[in-house]
């Protein structure tokens, strides 16, 4: 077969193809391999494999060496490569020997399938995230990510603070992945359950502990054994439950409801909150001993309004996610739409940005997200950041304001939102239940809340 035919076949393939000789020098690199590595074929031919395919784990080189020595084909192996930009790209590799007329191995041909779309979908479905999945260039968050390897070496409890919607659970999952990847990760929203139900959910119960307890049930601590347990919104836990949690964190053991024997708990605790825990301790709403047990290591995740440089990166990420999930081929956000998205204040933070993009995908039919695809609130509230009342309200997280300023801000938000609690909570970046508690605490008339 002529060389021109070989080249035509290589160009037509959707997989990346690369071949190396016994000296590990690249002999062939097709167009898909150029896209995958970011290196042009003319610059790659004759160079060492490690110059074009940096392999920090050694898995790819190990596969090639095995094929060279055994002469056998390796198929369907998942690993990753590092492209010229330093990005780790998951791939599925087939490696086969190149044989001469005497059936002697003279090299290895690699066929690599870009696995980013499938891996992205797999992680979205399983919610198994690592620090590499946290999209940011913000220096404060990058410093947190740099600390994760050392944090992973200890079993210390971690408290993650920040406003609603910034991605605290994503960071919690990354901490779990760095420290207890082989164990389970479980989460429970402490503010969503009454004490009796929260206690049974956390510690489980024995048969006969109450009327409907017909069988034993394991709690989250038992189910998370050897892994991590996320206590979401720990600031909403009642004083009675705070005492029970303190015992688990101090003694590393618990008793199921109706049980008589203590059970040891090998569980890493990660807690999150959007509340000012120090102020709660000072006011007596949260036990200081539990606070210091939970807050061995504290990470603060800033709101999206304070890190607008992350918005373009997050948009690229959401385009990848929604293209996979919806079978679309959206390529970018138009300049006009980007202007509105960069000028919006995001009271709902990263979660709201994701919702805005999901809305745009539902409205837009083309391969470019234009301003006509954006939600009306983005178009009406973006632009100048000066006089917008909601912008000013959310410039500083509510829980970081002193109580007097919090009361003033809540009253102003209720007024601007016509007394509607749901709309006011969204504008302030807090939950409706948190807003209701603060209204009671500051003596704000509940009659102001004329809507849900």
* Predicted pLDDT at 294: 95
Nearest to 421 by CA among 402, 442, 437, 405: 437
* Predicted pLDDT at 233: 93
Nearest 5°: CA angle at 115, between 364 and 133?
75
* Predicted pLDDT at 10: 65
* Predicted pLDDT at 88: 74
Q: Residue 212 is encoded by which pair of tokens?
A: 């409907």
Residues of the chain with CATH 1.10.10: 401-448
* Predicted pLDDT at 293: 95
Residues of the chain with CATH 3.30.450.20: 3-114
* Predicted pLDDT at 303: 93
* Helix/strand/coil for 118: helix
Q: What are the Cα distances from residue 43, in Å, to 23, 138, 157?
A: 18, 34, 50
What CATH number was assigned to the domain covering residues 304-381? 1.10.8.60
Extended beta strands in 262-341, E state: 263-264, 268-273, 297-300, 332-333
Rounded to whole angstroms, the Cα distance separating 93 from 202 reads 43
Beta-bridge partner residues of 63:
none
Among 1.10.20.10, 3.40.50.1370, 3.40.190.10, 3.40.50.300, what is the CATH number of 123-300? 3.40.50.300
* Predicted pLDDT at 387: 33
Q: Rounded to 5, what percent of the chain is helix, strand, coil?
A: 50, 20, 35
For 118-126, which contacts have Cβ atoms below 8 Å and span 24 or more sequence positions? 118/90, 119/90, 120/320, 120/321, 120/324, 121/324, 121/325, 124/321, 124/324, 124/325
Q: Residue 441 is encoded by which pair of tokens?
A: 């605490």
Can you say whether the dihedral through the CA atoms of 360, 311, 401, 301 is positive or negative? Answer: positive
Domain 401-448 is found in CATH 1.10.15: no
Residues of the chain with CATH 3.40.50.300: 123-300
* Predicted pLDDT at 50: 84
* Helix/strand/coil for 80: strand
Q: Residue 127 is encoded by which pair of tokens?
A: 């919610």
Q: Residue 215 is encoded by which pair of tokens?
A: 């069988």
Among 3.50.50.60, 3.30.420.40, 3.30.450.20, 3.40.50.720, what is the CATH number of 3-114? 3.30.450.20
Each residue's pLDDT expressed in tens, for the chain with a length of 452 residues: 455 555 666 666 678 888 999 999 999 888 888 888 888 888 889 998 888 887 666 788 888 999 999 999 998 888 888 877 677 788 889 999 998 888 899 999 999 888 776 666 556 555 555 565 688 888 888 899 889 888 888 889 999 999 999 989 989 988 998 888 888 999 999 988 888 889 889 998 877 667 677 788 888 999 999 999 999 999 999 999 999 999 899 999 988 888 778 899 999 999 999 999 999 999 999 999 999 999 999 999 999 999 988 998 899 888 888 887 787 888 889 988 999 999 899 999 999 999 999 999 999 888 899 999 999 889 887 653 333 344 444 445 565 566 667 788 888 888 878 788 888 887 777 777 778 878 877 778 755 444 44
- pTM listed for this prediction: 0.62
């Amino acid at each position: 077969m002529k060389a021109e035919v070989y080249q035509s076949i290589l160009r037509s393939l959707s997989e990346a193809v690369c071949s190396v000789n016994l000296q590990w020098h690249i002999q062939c690199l097709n167009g898909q391999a150029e896209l995958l590595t970011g290196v042009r074929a003319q610059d790659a031919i004759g160079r060492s494999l490690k110059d074009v395919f940096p392999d920090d784990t050694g898995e790819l080189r190990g596969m090639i060496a095995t094929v060279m020595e055994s002469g056998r084909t390796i198929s369907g192996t998942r690993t990753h490569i590092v492209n010229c930009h330093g990005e780790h790209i998951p791939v599925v590799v087939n490696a086969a020997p190149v044989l001469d007329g005497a059936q002697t191995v003279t090299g290895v041909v690699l066929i690599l399938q870009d696995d980013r779309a499938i891996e992205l979908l797999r992680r979205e479905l399983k919610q198994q995230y690592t620090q590499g999945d946290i999209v940011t260039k913000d220096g404060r968050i990058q410093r947190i990510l740099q600390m994760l390897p050392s944090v992973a070496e200890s079993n210390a409890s971690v408290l993650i603070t920040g406003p609603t919607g910034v991605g605290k659970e994503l960071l919690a999952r990354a901490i779990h992945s760095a420290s207890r990847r082989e164990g389970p990760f479980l989460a429970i929203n402490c503010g969503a359950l009454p004490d009796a139900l929260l206690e049974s959910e956390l510690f489980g119960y024995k048969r006969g502990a109450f009327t409907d307890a017909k069988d034993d049930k394991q709690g989250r601590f038992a189910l998370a054994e050897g892994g991590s347990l996320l206590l979401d919104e720990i600031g909403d836990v009642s004083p009675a439950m705070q005492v029970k949690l303190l015992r688990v964190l101090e003694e590393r053991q618990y008793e199921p409801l109706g049980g008589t024997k203590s059970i040891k708990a090998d569980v890493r605790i990660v807690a999150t909150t959007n509340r000012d825990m120090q102020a709660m301790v000072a006011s007596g709403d949260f036990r200081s001993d539990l606070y210091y047990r939970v807050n061995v290591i504290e990470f603060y995740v800033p709101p999206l309004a304070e890190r607008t440089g992350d918005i373009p990166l997050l948009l690229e990420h959401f385009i990848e996610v929604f293209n996979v999930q919806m079978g679309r081929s959206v390529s970018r956000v138009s300049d006009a739409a980007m202007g509105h998205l960069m000028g919006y204040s995001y009271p709902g933070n990263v979660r709201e940005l994701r919702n805005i993009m999901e809305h745009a995908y539902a409205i837009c039919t083309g391969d470019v997200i234009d301003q006509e695809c954006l939600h009306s609130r983005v178009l009406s509230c973006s632009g100048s950041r000066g006089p917008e009342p909601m912008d000013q309200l959310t410039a500083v997280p509510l829980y970081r304001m002193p109580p007097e300023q919090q009361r003033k801000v809540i009253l102003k938000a209720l007024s601007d939102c016509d007394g509607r609690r749901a709309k006011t909570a969204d504008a302030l970046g807090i939950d409706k239940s948190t807003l209701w508690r603060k209204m009671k605490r500051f003596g704000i008339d509940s009659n102001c809340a004329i809507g849900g």
